[in-house]
Amino acid sequence: MIEIVKTKADLCTGCNRCVRECPLEMANVVYQDENGKLKIKIDYDKCIACGRCVPVCKHKARYYTDDTERFFDDLKNGVPISLIVNPSTCSGFPSYKKLFTFFKKSGVNKIANVSLGSDICIWAHLKYLEEKKALPMITQICPAVVSYCEIYHHDLLPHMSPVHGPMGCASVYLKEYLGIGDNIALLSPCIPRVNEFENAKLAKYVLNYTKLQEYLVKNNIKLPQKETDFDYSETELGSMCLIPGGVKENVEYLFGNKFHIVKVEGHTVYKKLDEYAEAGKELLPDIFDVLNCAEGCNMGSACPVNRNLFEFEQSKKISRMKMPEERRKEHFEATYKKYNDKFKLSKFLRKYRSVKSALPKLTDKDINKAFKLLGKTTYENQNIDCGSCGSETCLAMARKIALGISIPFNCIAKEKEDV
């Protein structure tokens, strides 16, 4: 995987906030540096770049990178670039039309709303279901979820929808159907989006909200007063696709209750995917709609941490208000019939890869050995479960020591006993 999320070791205090927030057991490695200080680094073979560790780090030791600087450098050098913009930009940047004017003045040729791709994405999912009868299915709009399955759950890859996400569909549409030969850039609220487009080769640049704001401040850029709108804007249901349950709402609007759809988003999504892998096929829903971020892309991992919940709720309200009334359903059906005539499904499909990563299995003997290293030999001290080490339980901490990704020095109960 690309090294998107990074660590400044000199700023790391070993506080374990990142360990506690991370949904993955093996993505963070605790160690002592040459001065005996506790530090935490990332194992990039295990990290899915979900970005949760970045905002919880109070010492600015965790950060992420994107292509903002390279994007503007290439524009200055005359590289032809068109931009695809996530619809949450409208709520993330209240002056987004002035921002678009700045982009145009900087050399951007065309600006497209991802909602175009959202409509195509929904159409392609439904078309794929009709043609392939490929149920049960896991939707894959979220790149962190894709990375999780590619690394940890190869058994789930056959269930993953092969349809590109909205940004991917929008990129294909611009290139294949509008004939735009520019390099494609994405303005996204999502840290792991870089992984998606590095693999799919559908975009040259990923700009994230926070990094773009930092660039504007760093370069003392004041946005022009003139407003510019999208060159290619949303159609129909696309504005709903990137909020929690957006896929579910789209499918149910068009098909009623024909499909059994379950949606999960936020911190529990990876445990739910584990449960999905263990469940019998007869228990699985037709469609499993999953997102890494609890509030969807409108409050994605690359959004400023000071986003107000009620600003987000207002943006959801506006999106829903844009949905058509029942009297326009015939228009929708006509639109999707038009897509059937216009688009070739294979253009909007992708493939997955099985990423090889060492995932050792532990025995009771391994766990007992780790408990001995911790000095925990009784039921009571094996169940203190204070959480200071970043693990929920002492057993989870013992597992990490057995896996070689944590050390006894990280256990505050042990250190107290030693003192």
- The string of DSSP codes covering 23-75 is S-SSSEEEEE-TTS-EEEEE-TTT-----THHHH-TTS-EEE--SHHHHHHHH
Report the pLDDT averaged over residues 278-296. Answer: 87
Cα–Cα distance between 365 and 371 in angstroms, integer? 10
E strands in 89-144: 111-113, 137-138
Please confirm whether the linkage preceding 192 is cis (ω < 30° from 0). no
**Any alpha helices (H) in 219-363, and if so which ranges?**
246-255, 269-278, 309-321, 329-342
Task: Place 242 in a pLDDT band, splitting at 50, 70 and 90.
Answer: very low
- Please state the separation of Cα 396 from the chain's center in Å: 26
Q: Is pLDDT of 316 > 60?
A: no
Chain mean pLDDT for the chain:
87
Report the pLDDT averaged over residues 252-268. Answer: 80
Most confident of 130-134, 255-259, 294-298, 388-392: 388-392
CB 83 within 8 A of CB 205: no
- 3-class DSSP state of 334: helix
Cβ neighbours of residue 413 closer than 8 Å, sequence gap 6 or more: 376, 381, 384, 386, 388, 394
pTM here?
A: 0.88
Where in the chain is CATH 3.30.70.20? 1-63
Phi, psi of 221 (to 5 degrees): -90, 125
Task: Place 33 in a pLDDT band, splitting at 50, 70 and 90.
Answer: very high
Q: Is pLDDT of 236 > 60?
A: no
Q: Is pLDDT of 315 > 60?
A: no
Q: What is the pLDDT of residue 243?
A: 47
Among the listed ranges 27-41, 171-185, 284-298, 360-374, which one has the minimum average pLDDT value?
284-298
Among the listed ranges 26-35, 92-101, 183-192, 228-237, which one has the minimum average pLDDT value?
228-237
* Level-2 CATH architecture, domain 1-63: 2-Layer Sandwich (3.30)
Of the two residues 86 and 318, the one the predictor is more confident about is 86
